[in-house]
């Protein structure tokens, strides 16, 4: 079984069940299945073959869903890319992944025209139209490669044959966020994606009655698995939201009676802070899911109290398709924890030699299961460092309690060493978030001549008159001296990437050299 065959199975049993809603447009499972076949046929007509690579530079639209599944149907490897990346970032990923064709929004046509000579392997550009005007290329060479998404959707040829898909065939190459060095392309197989989507759906109790909000970017693995693949494997409905905003989410949830919302902590913070956000508008939500980063316990408790809904924190990474842990339904959740092993996946905390550590000791989190990638594309050395004896080394520091719940302490690379003592940024951030006048906070380590490193705190205040002295006094009550801030910087906004993850690197880049 794979993602495409499971979706086809659902379409055969419940053809009239709504699969996706986008704005005022509803798409049934049978309509979605037919569109997937048409797009797969269109790719074959362009000369695309099994194993070729297709980049998706799309926002959250039905075109993303159709092209994703259509490519998989044709045996083509999908490379999702953030369309808001810079031309340099996009160019690197297109080149590194050996892309043969691109499906992208029409606004990117001028960008592609400027860089097409540096992308000789790209033979086809399929444009997803965002306006009624037909996109027009100025460069004659680009014109010969160009078509539109609409023109790809030819009537189905029932006699068409499709390649046989093996569970170990690469289905997707997902580029990591590249917080250090160049982004790496994690190769995820058909088995990786199907097993994780199926296990997540089962773990969260998704079924055909559910309506899941897909407001996270679909090109990101969190949305790809939890908000798109898992619902479609369950016969549920995906509510496609093109862009996150608190007003849009509250309206969508109320109008469509959504049952599941998934987001990163930043999104929950925005929803909580939104003055017009009414608990009544969120009444249909039975479950909230948080991932992508650790959620401050103070925010989790405040959100749940205001909206009377449980937030289940989980953990994942691109290399694991992505989910490895979730707080369980049956045994209860523990705020601040990423939960326990999901079905078929094993997590372990180890020392630098790979030996499992006792409960409550901090070490590196490693993961094993059918969801773990086959390796990084064209990066054998990096693959060897990440995959050892079937285990994926995540680079995250964690601990496990006596009940089998895991807690992320911090990124291995983000740990701050002050005078020989380990300081975990998350611990300091939890203290900062417990102050009633702190809206957002992030902590990084900076070089220090005396102690090696020092703690810098960046804060977005709720009250503009909030002072450094007030924060220092608050920290003195809750933190040992070596963990306290050496400097506090107030900001209007903390830099984040497209998924809402805080960019610590951007803060480090502002430091004097």
pLDDT digits (tens, 9 = 90+) for 64-90: 999 999 999 999 999 999 898 888 889
**Interatomic CA distance for residues 190 and 72, integer angstroms:** 9
Q: Give exposure, 5-16, as e/b (b: 16+ Cβ within 10 Å).
A: ebbbebbeeeee
Contact status, residue 285 vs residue 260, Cβ threshold 8 Å: yes
Long-range contacts of 4-11 (CB under 8 A, 24+ apart): 4/36, 4/69, 4/72, 4/73, 4/165, 6/194, 6/198, 6/232, 6/233, 7/32, 7/33, 7/36, 7/69, 7/232, 7/233, 8/33, 10/232, 10/233, 10/235
Ranges of H-type helices in 274-363: 297-307
- Measured between alpha carbons, how far is residue 160 from residues 45, 66, 126, 483 in Å? 11, 18, 21, 64
What is the model's pLDDT at position 151? 92
pTM comes to 0.86
Tens digit of pLDDT per residue, the chain (513 long)?
999 999 999 999 999 999 999 999 999 999 999 999 999 999 999 999 999 999 999 999 999 999 999 999 999 999 999 898 888 889 999 999 999 999 999 999 999 999 999 999 999 999 998 887 778 888 888 989 999 999 999 877 777 899 999 999 999 999 986 544 578 999 999 999 999 999 999 999 999 999 999 999 999 999 999 999 999 999 999 999 999 999 999 999 999 999 999 998 889 999 999 999 999 999 999 999 998 777 889 999 999 999 999 999 999 999 999 999 999 877 788 988 999 999 999 999 999 999 999 999 999 999 999 999 999 999 999 999 999 999 999 989 999 999 999 999 877 778 888 876 778 888 899 999 999 999 999 999 888 877 778 999 999 999 999 999 999 999 999 888 889 999 999 999 999 887 777 888 788 777 765
359 phi/psi in degrees, rounded to 5: -55, 145
- What's the pLDDT at 55? 98
| Two structure tokens written together for 128 | 């997803």
pLDDT, position 512:
67
Per-residue model confidence as pLDDT tens digits over 478-488: 888 889 999 99
Rounded to a whole number of angstroms, the CA Rg of the chain reads 23
Write out pLDDT tens, residues 409-428.
Answer: 877 778 888 876 778 888 89
Output the average pLDDT for the chain. 92
Query: By the 8 A CB rule, do 67 and 76 touch?
Result: no
Domain annotation for the chain: domains and CATH numbers: 3-12+31-154 (3.40.50.980), 415-508 (3.30.300.30)
| Residue 243 token pair | 């862009």
């Amino acid at each position: 079984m794979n993602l495409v065959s499971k979706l086809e199975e659902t379409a055969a049993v419940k053809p009239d069940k709504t699969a996706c809603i986008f704005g005022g447009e509803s798409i049934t499972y049978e309509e979605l299945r037919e569109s997937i076949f048409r797009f797969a046929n269109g790719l074959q007509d362009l000369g695309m073959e099994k194993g070729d690579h297709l980049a998706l530079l799309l926002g959250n639209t039905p075109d993303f869903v159709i092209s994703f599944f259509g490519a998989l149907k044709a045996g083509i490897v999908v490379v999702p890319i953030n369309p808001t990346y810079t031309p340099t970032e996009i160019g690197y990923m297109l080149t590194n992944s050996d892309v043969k064709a691109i499906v992208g929004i029409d606004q990117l046509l001028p960008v592609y025209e400027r860089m097409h000579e540096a992308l000789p392997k790209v033979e086809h550009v399929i444009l997803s139209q965002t306006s009624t005007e037909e996109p027009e290329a100025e460069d004659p060479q680009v014109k010969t490669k160009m078509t539109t998404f609409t023109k790809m959707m030819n009537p189905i040829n029932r006699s068409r044959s499709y390649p046989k898909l093996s569970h170990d065939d690469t289905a997707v190459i997902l580029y990591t966020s590249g917080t250090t060095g160049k982004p790496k392309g994690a190769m995820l197989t058909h088995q990786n994606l199907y097993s994780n989507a199926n296990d997540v759906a089962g773990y969260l109790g998704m079924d055909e009655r559910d309506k899941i909000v897909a407001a996270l970017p679909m090109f990101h693995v969190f949305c790809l698995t939890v908000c798109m693949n898992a619902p479609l494997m369950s016969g549920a409905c995906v509510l496609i939201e093109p862009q996150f905003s608190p007003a849009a989410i509250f309206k969508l949830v109320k109008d469509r009676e959504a049952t599941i919302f998934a987001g990163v902590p930043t999104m929950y913070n925005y929803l909580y802070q939104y003055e017009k956000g009414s608990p009544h508008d969120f009444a249909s939500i039975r479950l909230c899911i948080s991932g992508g980063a650790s959620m401050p316990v103070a925010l989790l408790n405040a959100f749940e109290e205001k909206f009377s809904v449980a937030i289940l924190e989980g953990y994942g990474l691109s290399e694991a398709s992505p989910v490895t842990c979730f707080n369980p339904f049956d045994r209860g959740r523990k705020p601040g924890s990423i939960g326990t092993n999901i079905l078929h996946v094993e997590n372990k905390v180890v020392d630098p030699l790979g030996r499992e550590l006792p409960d409550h000791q901090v070490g590196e989190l490693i993961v094993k299961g059918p969801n773990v990638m086959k390796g990084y594309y064209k990066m054998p050395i990096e693959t060897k460092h990440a995959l050892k004896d079937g285990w994926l080394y995540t680079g995250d520091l964690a601990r496990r309690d006596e009940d089998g719940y895991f807690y992320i302490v911090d990124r291995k690379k983000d740990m701050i060493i002050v005078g020989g003592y380990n300081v975990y940024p998350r611990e300091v951030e939890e203290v900062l978030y417990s102050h009633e006048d702190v809206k957002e906070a992030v902590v990084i380590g900076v070089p220090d001549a005396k102690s090696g490193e020092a703690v810098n705190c960046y804060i977005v205040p709720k009250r503009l008159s909030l002072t450094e002295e007030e924060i220092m006094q608050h920290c003195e009550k809750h933190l040992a001296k070596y963990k306290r801030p050496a400097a506090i910087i107030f900001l209007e906004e903390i830099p984040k990437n497209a998924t809402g993850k805080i960019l610590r690197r951007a803060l480090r880049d502002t430091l004097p050299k």
